[in-house]
Amino acid sequence: MTAIVEAIDLVKEFDAGGGMLGKGKKVYAVSGVSFEVQRGETFAIVGESGCGKSTLARTLSRLIAPTSGDVLVQGTSVGALKGRGLRDLRSKIQFIFQDPFSSLNPRMSVGALIAEPMEVHRPDLNAKQRRAETAQLLRQVGLRAAHMDRYPHEFSGGQRQRIGIARALAAKPEILIGDEPVSALDVSVQAQVINLLADLKTEFGLTLIIVAHDLAVVRHMSDRIAVMYLGRIVEIGDADAITANPRHPYTQALMSAVPEARIDANRNPILLEGEIPSPINPPSGCRFRTRCAFAKAICAEKIPLLETTKDGREVACHFHKEIPVSDYGSETQALPEAAKRRFALFRGAVNARKENKTQQGEYQ
C-alpha cells in the first residue's frame, strides 16, 4: 500500500489573541503529529473539544498553513504549493463541513452550488456538461435532479448535508475530509448519511478522513483511528482494536464514557479528575499526566513517543506495557430475541419497500 496522505511532524500554533495579557502567548493546537493515510481507507481523528482535531484536518488540506512540519499528498509536499499547484491540490482534497446550515451560500441555487467547484477545477466542462453532471451527482447523493433549481433553505438538515457532499464530489476529489460530517444530524438521518458516505466511497474510489467526537460513529465508519489529546496523538491503530481494547489511559477513559444504547451495557465510566488543561499552557512531558491515574515523575519530564505494540497499534505512554488493557469487545452479549427479531423485520420491510419506491427522493 502507498500512503496517499502523509503528515510529518505537523505543528500548528496560533497567537493567543491580542491585548496586553495575551501578548506573546501561543495556543499549541497541534504539537508534532505524524501519520500516514493509505489509499482507499477511512481514517478517523477523534478527541474532545479543543484537542486540535479540526485544526489538524484543516492543515491537511492547507485550509490553514502549518507552523512547521509538512503534509505530503501522493508524495508531493503541499507546504510549498502556490497558485495553480494549490488549486490542483484542492481538486484532489475536498472538505465536507459540519454545519449544513452555514456552509452553503443561501443565495445560490443548489445547481449553482454544485456546479461552482466544476467551474474552478474542471474548466474543460461546458455549461451543458456541468448541468448534466450536477443532475447525476444529485441522484447519486439520493436527491432528485429537479432539486437543482431550489435554494438551500428549502431543504432539511440531512438533505443539505447531501448537497454539501455532492458539492465536494463535483471537483472529482480522491480524498474527502469530513469535519464532524454527521454530528449535526438526527439519529435516523445520521444513519442515512453514514450509509451514503460508505456507498460513495466505493463508487468513487475515495479515501476518507473523518474528524469526529462520536466514537460509535467513528468506529462504524473507519478502518483506523487516531485519538488526540491536547494537540498530540496518544493512540493510533485499527478501529476495532482501539475501541475494544484501548491501551492509553486517555483512550480507556474516553471509551469507558461512551454511553451504549443497550440496557445490559456495563461500562463503568472511568471518571477523569478535573478538566482538560488550556492549550495555551499545556503540561510538560505527557500532556495527559495531570489527569492520569498512572502518572509518575517521568511523565512530567519526558514526552512519551508513539511506540508500536504487538498488535501493530501505536501508543504514546511511558507505561503502556504495565497498564492493564481495557476490554470492551468480548462482553458484548447477544441482543434479546424480541429486539433482534423486530430489528430484522424492520430492515426487511424497509428494503422491500425501497425496491418498490426507488423514485421517492430520500428513500435510501
Partner 1 sequence: MSHSMSNLLSVKGLGLSFSEKGPDFLRDVNFDLNKGETLCIVGESGCGKSLTALSLMGLLAPSLSRRVKGELSFEGQSLRFQDQKKLQQMRGGRLSMIFQEPMTSLNPSFRIGDQISEAWQCHHGAGGRERALEMLERVGIPDAKSRMNDYPHQLSGGMRQRVMIAMALVNNPSLVIADEPTTALDVTVQSQILKLMNDMQKTLNMGIILITHDLGVVAQVATRVAVMYAGEVVEHASAEAIFNDPQHPYTIGLIASVPPISGPRERLTVIPGRVPLPGSLGKGCRFAGRCPFATEICQTDPPVQLMEGSHFVRCHHAPIENMKESAA
Q: Nearer to partner 1 by C-beta: 5 or 272? A: 272
**What's the DSSP call for residue 59?**
H
The C-alpha atoms of residue 186 and residue 156 are separated, in whole angstroms, by 11
**What's the DSSP call for residue 4?**
E
Residue 258 near partner 1 by CB under 8 A? yes
Cα-based distances in Å from 12 to 39, 47, 89, 231, 296: 25, 17, 20, 9, 28
Residue 208 near partner 1 by CB under 8 A? no
- The pair phi, psi for residue 323, each rounded to 5°, is -70, 130
The C-alpha atoms of residue 307 and residue 236 are separated, in whole angstroms, by 10
Residue 261 near partner 1 by CB under 8 A? yes
Q: Nearer to partner 1 by C-beta: 94 or 251? A: 251
**What's the DSSP call for residue 275?**
-
Residue 17 near partner 1 by CB under 8 A? no
Cα-based distances in Å from 41 to 36, 98, 103: 11, 21, 26
Among 243, 253, 187, 181, smallest CA distance to 212 is for 181
The C-alpha atoms of residue 95 and residue 83 are separated, in whole angstroms, by 19
Among 262, 296, 302, 321, binds partner 1 (CB under 8 A): 262
**Within the chain, where are the H helices?**
19-22, 53-60, 83-92, 110-121, 127-140, 157-169, 187-204, 215-221, 239-244, 249-257, 297-301, 337-356
Among 136, 195, 281, 284, binds partner 1 (CB under 8 A): 195
* Interface mask toward partner 1 for 36-75; x: CB under 8 A: ------------xx--------------------------
The C-alpha atoms of residue 253 and residue 158 are separated, in whole angstroms, by 31
Q: Nearer to partner 1 by C-beta: 1 or 338? A: 338
**At closest approach, how far in Å is the CB of 313 from partner 1?**
17
Residue 331 near partner 1 by CB under 8 A? yes
Residue 216 near partner 1 by CB under 8 A? yes
The piece of 52-60, 76-84, 98-106, 329-337 that touches partner 1 (CB under 8 A) is 329-337
Residue 245 near partner 1 by CB under 8 A? no
Cα-based distances in Å from 57 to 88, 163, 208: 18, 21, 12
* Cβ(249)–Cβ(227) below 8 Å: no
Residue 253 near partner 1 by CB under 8 A? yes
Residue 251 near partner 1 by CB under 8 A? no
Residue holding cell 491515574? Answer: 293
Residue 280 near partner 1 by CB under 8 A? no
The piece of 62-70, 121-129, 314-322, 337-345 that touches partner 1 (CB under 8 A) is 337-345
Residue 349 near partner 1 by CB under 8 A? yes
- The pair phi, psi for residue 140, each rounded to 5°, is -65, -30
Residue 354 near partner 1 by CB under 8 A? yes
Q: Nearer to partner 1 by C-beta: 136 or 156? A: 156
Cα-based distances in Å from 115 to 105, 122, 242: 13, 10, 40
The piece of 21-29, 53-61, 62-70, 237-245 that touches partner 1 (CB under 8 A) is 237-245
The C-alpha atoms of residue 221 and residue 41 are separated, in whole angstroms, by 10
The C-alpha atoms of residue 3 and residue 41 are separated, in whole angstroms, by 10
Residue 341 near partner 1 by CB under 8 A? yes
The piece of 6-14, 16-24, 61-69, 356-364 that touches partner 1 (CB under 8 A) is 356-364
Residue 144 near partner 1 by CB under 8 A? no
User: How many residues belong to the site for partner 1 (CB under 8 A)?
Assistant: 66
Among 7, 110, 200, 215, binds partner 1 (CB under 8 A): 215
- Coil, strand or helix at 37: strand
The piece of 5-13, 107-115, 295-303, 323-331 that touches partner 1 (CB under 8 A) is 323-331
Residues within the interface to partner 1 (CB under 8 A)? 48-49, 156-159, 186-192, 194-195, 198, 213, 215-217, 219-220, 240, 243-244, 253-263, 265, 269, 271-272, 274-275, 328-329, 331-332, 335-336, 338-339, 341-343, 345-347, 349-350, 352-354, 356, 360, 362-364
